[in-house]
Structure 1
Protein backbone atom coordinates (compact mmCIF):
# COMPACT_ATOMS: atom_id res chain seq x y z
CA UNK A 1 0.00 0.00 0.00
CA UNK A 2 1.38 3.41 -0.95
CA UNK A 3 2.26 5.85 1.84
CA UNK A 4 -0.02 8.85 2.46
CA UNK A 5 1.88 12.09 2.92
CA UNK A 6 0.55 14.93 5.05
CA UNK A 7 1.50 17.49 2.38
CA UNK A 8 2.15 16.61 -1.23
CA UNK A 9 2.93 19.20 -3.89
CA UNK A 10 3.29 18.27 -7.56
CA UNK A 11 4.26 20.55 -10.42
CA UNK A 12 3.83 23.86 -8.60
CA UNK A 13 4.30 26.62 -11.16
CA UNK A 14 3.66 30.37 -11.24
CA UNK A 15 4.34 32.76 -14.09
CA UNK A 16 4.12 36.53 -14.21
CA UNK A 17 3.89 37.42 -17.88
CA UNK A 18 7.06 36.03 -19.43
CA UNK A 19 8.78 35.50 -16.07
CA UNK A 20 8.60 32.09 -14.40
CA UNK A 21 8.89 32.56 -10.63
CA UNK A 22 8.27 28.90 -9.83
CA UNK A 23 8.81 26.04 -12.26
CA UNK A 24 7.47 22.51 -11.74
CA UNK A 25 8.34 22.27 -8.04
CA UNK A 26 7.39 19.02 -6.26
CA UNK A 27 7.97 17.65 -2.75
CA UNK A 28 6.26 15.50 -0.10
CA UNK A 29 6.20 15.84 3.69
CA UNK A 30 5.44 13.07 6.17
CA UNK A 31 3.29 13.60 9.25
CA UNK A 32 5.26 15.33 11.98
CA UNK A 33 8.13 16.30 9.67
CA UNK A 34 9.79 19.71 9.79
CA UNK A 35 11.01 20.54 6.28
CA UNK A 36 13.24 23.52 5.59
CA UNK A 37 12.64 25.35 2.31
CA UNK A 38 15.74 27.41 1.63
CA UNK A 39 17.38 29.41 -1.13
CA UNK A 40 18.64 32.88 -1.97
CA UNK A 41 16.37 35.91 -2.36
CA UNK A 42 14.24 35.45 -5.47
CA UNK A 43 14.60 31.65 -5.45
CA UNK A 44 10.81 31.23 -5.26
CA UNK A 45 10.29 30.36 -1.59
CA UNK A 46 7.46 32.79 -0.78
CA UNK A 47 5.92 32.18 -4.19
CA UNK A 48 5.86 28.48 -3.37
CA UNK A 49 4.05 29.27 -0.10
CA UNK A 50 1.53 31.39 -2.05
CA UNK A 51 0.77 28.59 -4.50
CA UNK A 52 0.40 26.03 -1.69
CA UNK A 53 -2.15 28.20 0.09
CA UNK A 54 -4.05 29.24 -3.05
CA UNK A 55 -2.97 32.85 -2.66
CA UNK A 56 -2.89 35.02 -5.79
CA UNK A 57 -4.22 34.33 -9.26
CA UNK A 58 -4.14 31.08 -11.22
CA UNK A 59 -1.99 28.83 -9.02
CA UNK A 60 -0.79 25.84 -11.04
CA UNK A 61 -0.01 22.37 -9.78
CA UNK A 62 -1.58 19.79 -7.48
CA UNK A 63 -1.67 20.19 -3.70
CA UNK A 64 -2.79 17.32 -1.46
CA UNK A 65 -3.38 17.63 2.27
CA UNK A 66 -3.45 14.33 4.16
CA UNK A 67 -4.28 12.56 0.90
CA UNK A 68 -7.07 14.98 -0.10
CA UNK A 69 -6.69 17.03 -3.28
CA UNK A 70 -7.25 20.66 -2.21
CA UNK A 71 -6.00 22.23 -5.45
CA UNK A 72 -9.46 23.64 -6.20
CA UNK A 73 -9.96 25.04 -2.70
CA UNK A 74 -9.90 28.76 -1.97
CA UNK A 75 -7.36 30.19 0.47
CA UNK A 76 -9.96 30.18 3.27
CA UNK A 77 -11.12 26.64 2.45
CA UNK A 78 -7.52 25.41 2.65
CA UNK A 79 -7.16 27.06 6.06
CA UNK A 80 -10.27 25.35 7.37
CA UNK A 81 -9.08 22.03 5.91
CA UNK A 82 -5.92 22.32 8.02
CA UNK A 83 -3.31 24.23 5.97
CA UNK A 84 -2.16 27.32 7.86
CA UNK A 85 0.46 29.98 7.17
CA UNK A 86 2.36 32.80 8.81
CA UNK A 87 4.02 35.62 6.86
CA UNK A 88 7.41 37.35 6.78
CA UNK A 89 5.94 40.54 8.25
CA UNK A 90 3.83 40.43 11.39
CA UNK A 91 0.20 39.96 10.43
CA UNK A 92 -1.34 41.47 13.55
CA UNK A 93 -3.61 44.41 14.43
CA UNK A 94 -1.67 46.76 16.76
CA UNK A 95 -4.80 48.22 18.40
CA UNK A 96 -6.39 44.89 19.34
CA UNK A 97 -5.38 42.88 22.39
CA UNK A 98 -3.54 39.63 21.85
CA UNK A 99 -6.53 37.68 23.18
CA UNK A 100 -8.94 39.46 20.79
CA UNK A 101 -6.76 38.61 17.81
CA UNK A 102 -6.39 34.94 18.73
CA UNK A 103 -10.15 34.63 19.34
CA UNK A 104 -10.86 36.31 16.00
CA UNK A 105 -8.56 33.84 14.25
CA UNK A 106 -10.32 30.99 16.10
CA UNK A 107 -13.69 32.06 14.69
CA UNK A 108 -12.26 32.10 11.18
CA UNK A 109 -10.65 28.68 11.66
CA UNK A 110 -13.99 27.36 12.99
CA UNK A 111 -12.33 25.86 16.07
CA UNK A 112 -11.88 27.73 19.34
CA UNK A 113 -8.71 26.59 21.08
CA UNK A 114 -7.54 30.14 21.79
CA UNK A 115 -6.81 29.59 25.50
CA UNK A 116 -4.75 26.50 24.70
CA UNK A 117 -2.71 28.48 22.16
CA UNK A 118 -2.15 31.44 24.51
CA UNK A 119 -0.90 29.06 27.20
CA UNK A 120 1.22 27.02 24.75
CA UNK A 121 3.09 30.10 23.51
CA UNK A 122 3.41 31.71 26.97
CA UNK A 123 1.16 34.61 25.96
CA UNK A 124 -1.48 34.30 28.70
CA UNK A 125 0.19 36.84 30.99
CA UNK A 126 0.13 39.55 28.31
CA UNK A 127 -3.03 38.42 26.48
CA UNK A 128 -5.07 41.48 27.47
CA UNK A 129 -2.50 44.01 26.30
CA UNK A 130 -2.72 45.66 22.86
CA UNK A 131 -0.25 44.10 20.43
CA UNK A 132 1.40 47.50 19.97
CA UNK A 133 2.42 47.46 23.65
CA UNK A 134 4.44 44.24 23.60
CA UNK A 135 7.95 43.54 22.34
CA UNK A 136 8.74 42.57 18.76
CA UNK A 137 9.67 39.07 19.91
CA UNK A 138 6.24 38.74 21.56
CA UNK A 139 4.58 40.02 18.36
CA UNK A 140 6.31 37.24 16.41
CA UNK A 141 4.90 34.73 18.91
CA UNK A 142 1.43 36.25 18.38
CA UNK A 143 1.91 35.66 14.65
CA UNK A 144 2.70 32.03 15.36
CA UNK A 145 -0.32 31.79 17.68
CA UNK A 146 -2.64 33.04 14.93
CA UNK A 147 -1.31 30.38 12.56
CA UNK A 148 -1.67 27.62 15.18
CA UNK A 149 -5.29 28.35 16.04
CA UNK A 150 -7.48 25.38 15.15
CA UNK A 151 -4.55 22.94 15.39
CA UNK A 152 -3.76 22.83 11.66
CA UNK A 153 -2.43 19.66 10.09
CA UNK A 154 0.29 21.54 8.22
CA UNK A 155 1.91 24.82 9.22
CA UNK A 156 3.72 26.96 6.64
CA UNK A 157 6.10 29.42 8.28
CA UNK A 158 7.66 32.22 6.22
CA UNK A 159 10.75 33.48 8.09
CA UNK A 160 9.31 33.30 11.63
CA UNK A 161 12.68 34.27 13.14
CA UNK A 162 13.06 37.48 11.08
CA UNK A 163 14.22 40.33 13.31
CA UNK A 164 14.73 38.14 16.39
CA UNK A 165 17.92 37.88 18.40
CA UNK A 166 19.96 34.68 18.20
CA UNK A 167 18.66 33.63 21.62
CA UNK A 168 15.03 34.34 20.60
CA UNK A 169 15.51 32.49 17.30
CA UNK A 170 16.87 29.35 18.95
CA UNK A 171 14.14 29.47 21.60
CA UNK A 172 11.54 29.61 18.82
CA UNK A 173 13.25 26.71 17.06
CA UNK A 174 13.12 24.56 20.19
CA UNK A 175 9.45 25.41 20.69
CA UNK A 176 8.60 24.44 17.11
CA UNK A 177 10.45 21.15 17.48
CA UNK A 178 8.52 20.40 20.67
CA UNK A 179 5.18 21.33 19.09
CA UNK A 180 5.79 19.18 16.04
CA UNK A 181 6.57 16.19 18.25
CA UNK A 182 3.71 16.63 20.73
CA UNK A 183 0.98 17.63 18.25
CA UNK A 184 2.30 15.57 15.31
CA UNK A 185 2.36 18.89 13.45
CA UNK A 186 3.88 18.97 9.97
CA UNK A 187 5.89 22.13 9.24
CA UNK A 188 7.28 23.70 6.07
CA UNK A 189 9.75 26.35 7.19
CA UNK A 190 11.22 29.14 5.07
CA UNK A 191 14.08 30.69 7.00
CA UNK A 192 17.37 32.50 6.30
CA UNK A 193 18.74 31.79 9.77
CA UNK A 194 20.78 28.66 9.14
CA UNK A 195 21.22 28.03 12.87
CA UNK A 196 17.46 27.62 13.14
CA UNK A 197 17.28 25.50 9.98
CA UNK A 198 19.98 23.05 11.00
CA UNK A 199 18.76 22.93 14.61
CA UNK A 200 15.26 21.60 13.92
CA UNK A 201 14.70 20.49 10.31
CA UNK A 202 14.42 16.80 9.44
CA UNK A 203 15.02 17.41 5.73
CA UNK A 204 15.76 20.38 3.46
CA UNK A 205 14.55 21.36 0.00
CA UNK A 206 16.73 23.90 -1.80
CA UNK A 207 15.21 26.21 -4.42
CA UNK A 208 17.33 27.99 -7.00
CA UNK A 209 15.89 30.27 -9.70
CA UNK A 210 12.39 28.87 -9.14
CA UNK A 211 13.35 25.19 -9.36
CA UNK A 212 14.34 22.45 -6.91
CA UNK A 213 18.13 22.30 -6.83
CA UNK A 214 18.29 19.38 -4.40
CA UNK A 215 16.73 17.95 -1.26
CA UNK A 216 17.92 15.66 1.51
CA UNK A 217 19.07 15.44 5.11
CA UNK A 218 20.59 18.67 6.52
CA UNK A 219 24.16 17.34 6.54
CA UNK A 220 23.78 16.03 2.97
CA UNK A 221 22.54 19.40 1.74
CA UNK A 222 25.22 21.32 3.60
CA UNK A 223 27.98 19.32 1.88
CA UNK A 224 26.33 19.14 -1.56
CA UNK A 225 28.72 20.66 -4.18
CA UNK A 226 25.80 22.13 -6.18
CA UNK A 227 24.50 23.92 -3.08
CA UNK A 228 27.97 25.19 -2.24
CA UNK A 229 28.38 26.55 -5.78
CA UNK A 230 24.93 28.17 -5.75
CA UNK A 231 25.60 29.85 -2.40
CA UNK A 232 29.32 30.51 -2.65
CA UNK A 233 30.38 32.70 0.28
CA UNK A 234 27.22 31.92 2.25
CA UNK A 235 26.76 29.87 5.42
CA UNK A 236 26.80 26.70 3.33
CA UNK A 237 30.35 27.14 2.04
Structure 2
Protein backbone atom coordinates (compact mmCIF):
# COMPACT_ATOMS: atom_id res chain seq x y z
CA UNK A 1 0.00 0.00 0.00
CA UNK A 2 1.43 3.35 -1.00
CA UNK A 3 0.51 6.85 0.08
CA UNK A 4 -1.13 9.20 -2.38
CA UNK A 5 1.48 11.86 -1.82
CA UNK A 6 4.63 12.14 0.26
CA UNK A 7 3.29 14.90 2.49
CA UNK A 8 3.45 15.07 6.26
CA UNK A 9 -0.01 15.84 7.66
CA UNK A 10 0.63 15.12 11.35
CA UNK A 11 3.71 14.93 13.53
CA UNK A 12 4.21 14.34 17.24
CA UNK A 13 7.79 15.00 18.37
CA UNK A 14 9.26 13.87 21.70
CA UNK A 15 5.83 13.85 23.36
CA UNK A 16 5.86 13.15 27.08
CA UNK A 17 3.08 13.10 29.66
CA UNK A 18 4.21 12.58 33.25
CA UNK A 19 2.10 12.47 36.40
CA UNK A 20 4.57 13.04 39.19
CA UNK A 21 6.94 10.10 38.92
CA UNK A 22 4.66 8.16 36.58
CA UNK A 23 5.68 8.41 32.94
CA UNK A 24 2.47 7.55 31.06
CA UNK A 25 4.12 8.61 27.79
CA UNK A 26 7.84 9.24 27.65
CA UNK A 27 9.46 10.70 24.54
CA UNK A 28 7.18 9.41 21.79
CA UNK A 29 7.69 10.61 18.21
CA UNK A 30 5.50 9.53 15.32
CA UNK A 31 4.27 10.93 12.03
CA UNK A 32 1.45 10.46 9.54
CA UNK A 33 1.80 10.94 5.80
CA UNK A 34 -1.05 12.01 3.54
CA UNK A 35 -3.16 9.02 2.54
CA UNK A 36 -1.66 6.70 5.17
CA UNK A 37 -3.23 4.46 7.75
CA UNK A 38 -0.82 4.34 10.69
CA UNK A 39 -1.63 1.63 13.23
CA UNK A 40 -0.71 1.93 16.92
CA UNK A 41 -0.57 -1.29 18.92
CA UNK A 42 0.63 -2.41 22.32
CA UNK A 43 -0.57 -4.01 25.56
CA UNK A 44 -3.25 -2.36 27.69
CA UNK A 45 -1.70 0.55 29.58
CA UNK A 46 1.12 0.99 27.06
CA UNK A 47 0.17 4.64 26.44
CA UNK A 48 -1.62 4.43 23.07
CA UNK A 49 -4.82 6.24 24.05
CA UNK A 50 -2.83 8.77 26.07
CA UNK A 51 -0.84 9.63 22.94
CA UNK A 52 -4.11 10.10 21.04
CA UNK A 53 -5.33 12.40 23.82
CA UNK A 54 -2.08 14.36 23.62
CA UNK A 55 -2.34 14.78 19.85
CA UNK A 56 -5.95 15.98 20.06
CA UNK A 57 -5.22 18.43 22.88
CA UNK A 58 -7.08 16.62 25.64
CA UNK A 59 -3.91 16.13 27.71
CA UNK A 60 -1.34 18.80 28.56
CA UNK A 61 2.16 17.83 27.45
CA UNK A 62 5.02 17.63 29.92
CA UNK A 63 7.22 18.24 26.92
CA UNK A 64 7.10 17.81 23.17
CA UNK A 65 5.41 19.28 20.13
CA UNK A 66 2.42 18.44 17.92
CA UNK A 67 2.19 19.78 14.36
CA UNK A 68 -0.69 19.57 11.90
CA UNK A 69 0.24 20.09 8.23
CA UNK A 70 3.46 21.75 9.37
CA UNK A 71 1.75 24.15 11.79
CA UNK A 72 2.50 23.93 15.52
CA UNK A 73 -0.78 23.22 17.34
CA UNK A 74 0.75 22.21 20.68
CA UNK A 75 -0.94 25.02 22.58
CA UNK A 76 -4.34 24.77 20.88
CA UNK A 77 -7.30 23.05 22.51
CA UNK A 78 -9.36 20.16 21.07
CA UNK A 79 -11.96 22.46 19.45
CA UNK A 80 -9.34 24.53 17.66
CA UNK A 81 -7.57 21.41 16.43
CA UNK A 82 -10.88 19.98 15.20
CA UNK A 83 -11.53 23.15 13.24
CA UNK A 84 -8.09 22.78 11.66
CA UNK A 85 -8.94 19.31 10.39
CA UNK A 86 -7.97 16.97 13.24
CA UNK A 87 -10.87 14.71 14.23
CA UNK A 88 -11.13 11.69 16.51
CA UNK A 89 -13.49 9.03 17.73
CA UNK A 90 -13.45 7.40 21.16
CA UNK A 91 -13.51 3.83 22.43
CA UNK A 92 -17.18 4.27 23.33
CA UNK A 93 -19.67 5.52 20.75
CA UNK A 94 -20.65 9.19 21.07
CA UNK A 95 -23.93 9.16 19.17
CA UNK A 96 -27.27 10.70 20.14
CA UNK A 97 -29.35 7.57 20.58
CA UNK A 98 -32.80 9.19 20.39
CA UNK A 99 -32.09 11.24 17.26
CA UNK A 100 -32.55 10.15 13.66
CA UNK A 101 -29.33 9.12 11.92
CA UNK A 102 -29.33 11.82 9.25
CA UNK A 103 -30.62 14.45 11.66
CA UNK A 104 -27.63 14.18 13.97
CA UNK A 105 -25.05 14.12 11.19
CA UNK A 106 -26.65 17.19 9.62
CA UNK A 107 -26.76 18.93 13.00
CA UNK A 108 -23.07 18.20 13.56
CA UNK A 109 -22.32 19.61 10.09
CA UNK A 110 -24.28 22.75 10.94
CA UNK A 111 -22.40 23.15 14.24
CA UNK A 112 -19.10 22.83 12.34
CA UNK A 113 -20.13 25.70 10.08
CA UNK A 114 -20.33 23.60 6.92
CA UNK A 115 -21.82 25.61 4.03
CA UNK A 116 -24.39 22.94 3.12
CA UNK A 117 -24.99 20.67 6.14
CA UNK A 118 -27.57 18.56 4.33
CA UNK A 119 -25.28 17.79 1.40
CA UNK A 120 -22.39 17.07 3.80
CA UNK A 121 -24.55 14.65 5.80
CA UNK A 122 -25.78 12.87 2.67
CA UNK A 123 -22.25 12.45 1.30
CA UNK A 124 -20.99 10.98 4.57
CA UNK A 125 -23.92 8.61 4.98
CA UNK A 126 -23.55 7.47 1.38
CA UNK A 127 -19.84 6.80 1.86
CA UNK A 128 -20.44 4.68 4.96
CA UNK A 129 -23.42 2.76 3.57
CA UNK A 130 -25.81 4.37 6.05
CA UNK A 131 -28.11 6.18 3.61
CA UNK A 132 -30.78 3.48 3.88
CA UNK A 133 -30.83 4.11 7.65
CA UNK A 134 -31.10 7.91 7.38
CA UNK A 135 -34.52 8.05 9.04
CA UNK A 136 -33.88 5.39 11.66
CA UNK A 137 -33.54 6.25 15.34
CA UNK A 138 -29.91 5.68 16.30
CA UNK A 139 -30.87 3.51 19.29
CA UNK A 140 -32.52 1.05 16.90
CA UNK A 141 -29.32 0.43 14.93
CA UNK A 142 -27.16 -2.64 15.41
CA UNK A 143 -23.90 -2.06 17.24
CA UNK A 144 -21.83 -2.24 14.05
CA UNK A 145 -24.10 0.37 12.45
CA UNK A 146 -23.78 2.58 15.52
CA UNK A 147 -19.98 2.42 15.21
CA UNK A 148 -20.26 3.52 11.58
CA UNK A 149 -22.53 6.37 12.67
CA UNK A 150 -19.92 7.37 15.22
CA UNK A 151 -17.38 7.42 12.39
CA UNK A 152 -19.81 9.49 10.31
CA UNK A 153 -19.89 12.17 13.02
CA UNK A 154 -16.08 12.22 13.07
CA UNK A 155 -16.07 12.83 9.30
CA UNK A 156 -18.23 15.95 9.49
CA UNK A 157 -16.49 18.89 7.87
CA UNK A 158 -14.12 16.69 5.85
CA UNK A 159 -11.18 16.45 8.32
CA UNK A 160 -7.75 15.78 6.89
CA UNK A 161 -6.65 13.62 9.83
CA UNK A 162 -8.77 11.05 11.63
CA UNK A 163 -7.71 9.53 14.96
CA UNK A 164 -9.59 6.36 15.85
CA UNK A 165 -9.37 4.73 19.28
CA UNK A 166 -10.31 1.03 18.98
CA UNK A 167 -13.11 1.44 16.40
CA UNK A 168 -13.43 -2.36 15.99
CA UNK A 169 -14.02 -3.03 19.70
CA UNK A 170 -17.11 -5.18 20.15
CA UNK A 171 -17.61 -5.81 16.43
CA UNK A 172 -17.98 -9.20 14.80
CA UNK A 173 -15.29 -10.41 12.41
CA UNK A 174 -17.45 -9.42 9.42
CA UNK A 175 -18.27 -6.00 10.88
CA UNK A 176 -14.57 -5.36 11.53
CA UNK A 177 -13.76 -6.38 7.97
CA UNK A 178 -16.43 -4.03 6.59
CA UNK A 179 -15.26 -1.09 8.71
CA UNK A 180 -11.66 -1.72 7.66
CA UNK A 181 -12.73 -1.51 3.99
CA UNK A 182 -14.46 1.80 4.69
CA UNK A 183 -11.29 3.20 6.28
CA UNK A 184 -9.21 2.18 3.27
CA UNK A 185 -11.73 3.80 0.93
CA UNK A 186 -11.69 7.03 2.94
CA UNK A 187 -7.94 7.44 2.52
CA UNK A 188 -8.28 7.36 -1.26
CA UNK A 189 -11.71 8.86 -1.98
CA UNK A 190 -11.91 11.41 0.85
CA UNK A 191 -8.24 12.26 1.20
CA UNK A 192 -8.31 11.37 4.91
CA UNK A 193 -5.22 10.11 6.74
CA UNK A 194 -5.84 7.78 9.68
CA UNK A 195 -4.06 7.16 12.99
CA UNK A 196 -5.56 3.94 14.30
CA UNK A 197 -5.36 2.45 17.80
CA UNK A 198 -6.64 -1.10 17.56
CA UNK A 199 -6.27 -4.53 19.22
CA UNK A 200 -7.46 -6.48 16.18
CA UNK A 201 -4.12 -7.57 14.76
CA UNK A 202 -5.60 -8.84 11.52
CA UNK A 203 -7.06 -5.39 10.86
CA UNK A 204 -3.96 -3.45 11.90
CA UNK A 205 -1.49 -5.48 9.86
CA UNK A 206 -3.94 -5.85 7.00
CA UNK A 207 -4.70 -2.17 6.29
CA UNK A 208 -1.88 -0.13 7.84
CA UNK A 209 0.96 1.41 5.84
CA UNK A 210 2.95 1.86 9.05
CA UNK A 211 2.65 0.14 12.43
CA UNK A 212 4.07 1.56 15.66
CA UNK A 213 4.34 -0.59 18.78
CA UNK A 214 4.17 0.83 22.31
CA UNK A 215 5.35 -0.61 25.58
CA UNK A 216 5.37 1.20 28.92
CA UNK A 217 4.84 4.61 27.35
CA UNK A 218 7.59 4.32 24.77
CA UNK A 219 7.89 3.24 21.13
CA UNK A 220 9.75 -0.07 20.78
CA UNK A 221 9.30 -0.53 17.03
CA UNK A 222 7.88 1.33 14.03
CA UNK A 223 7.83 0.68 10.30
CA UNK A 224 6.18 -1.33 7.56
CA UNK A 225 3.81 -4.02 8.93
CA UNK A 226 5.88 -7.02 7.77
CA UNK A 227 9.06 -5.60 9.30
CA UNK A 228 7.36 -4.79 12.61
CA UNK A 229 5.69 -8.20 12.80
CA UNK A 230 9.10 -9.89 12.43
CA UNK A 231 10.85 -7.66 15.00
CA UNK A 232 12.04 -9.84 17.92
CA UNK A 233 11.18 -7.15 20.46
CA UNK A 234 7.60 -7.00 19.20
CA UNK A 235 7.24 -10.79 19.12
CA UNK A 236 8.47 -11.03 22.69
CA UNK A 237 6.65 -8.01 24.14
CA UNK A 238 3.30 -8.23 22.44
CA UNK A 239 2.68 -10.72 19.64
CA UNK A 240 4.19 -13.65 21.52
CA UNK A 241 7.45 -15.44 20.76
CA UNK A 242 5.70 -17.84 18.39
CA UNK A 243 3.79 -15.12 16.47
What's the TM-score once normalised by structure 2's chain length? 0.92
**Range with greater deviation from structure 2 (188-197 or 101-110):** 101-110
**1:232: how far off?**
5.4
Determine the structure 1 residue equivalent to 2:161: 154
**1:181: how far off?**
1.3
Pick closer, same or farther for the CA change 1:60–1:92 going to 2, 3 Å: farther
**1:155: how far off?**
0.3
- In 2, distance between residues paired with 1:127 and 1:56? 35
Given candidates 211, 214, 223, the residue that maps to 1:216 is 223
**Range with greater deviation from structure 2 (88-97 or 135-144):** 88-97
Given candidates 40, 44, 49, the residue that maps to 1:37 is 40
Structural mapping, 1:70-219, within 5 Å: 70-111=73-114, 112=117, 113-219=120-226
Tell me, yes or no, if the aligned pair for 2:15 and 2:61 is still in contact at 8 Å: no
3-state DSSP class of the match of 2:136? Answer: coil
The two structures, once aligned, show a CA RMSD in angstroms of 1.6
What's the TM-score once normalised by structure 1's chain length? 0.94
3-state DSSP class of the match of 1:6? Answer: strand
The unaligned stretches of length 5 or more in structure 1 are: none
Determine the structure 2 residue equivalent to 1:65: 68
Tell me, yes or no, if the aligned pair for 1:33 and 1:202 is still in contact at 8 Å: yes
Given candidates 216, 223, 226, the residue that maps to 2:233 is 226
Determine the structure 1 residue equivalent to 2:3: none
**1:16: how far off?**
2.1
Tell me, yes or no, if the aligned pair for 1:9 and 1:25 is still in contact at 8 Å: yes
**1:110: how far off?**
2.3
- In 2, distance between residues paired with 1:214 and 1:233? 15
- In 2, distance between residues paired with 1:35 and 1:145? 20
- In 1, distance between residues paired with 2:125 and 2:90? 19
Pick closer, same or farther for the CA change 1:109–1:197 going to 2, 3 Å: same
The unaligned stretches of length 5 or more in structure 2 are: 1-5
Spell out, residue by residue over 1:112-171, the C-alpha distance to the aligned partner (whole angstroms, 9 max, x if none): 311110111111111222211110010000010011111101000111111111111011
- In 2, distance between residues paired with 1:89 and 1:209? 23
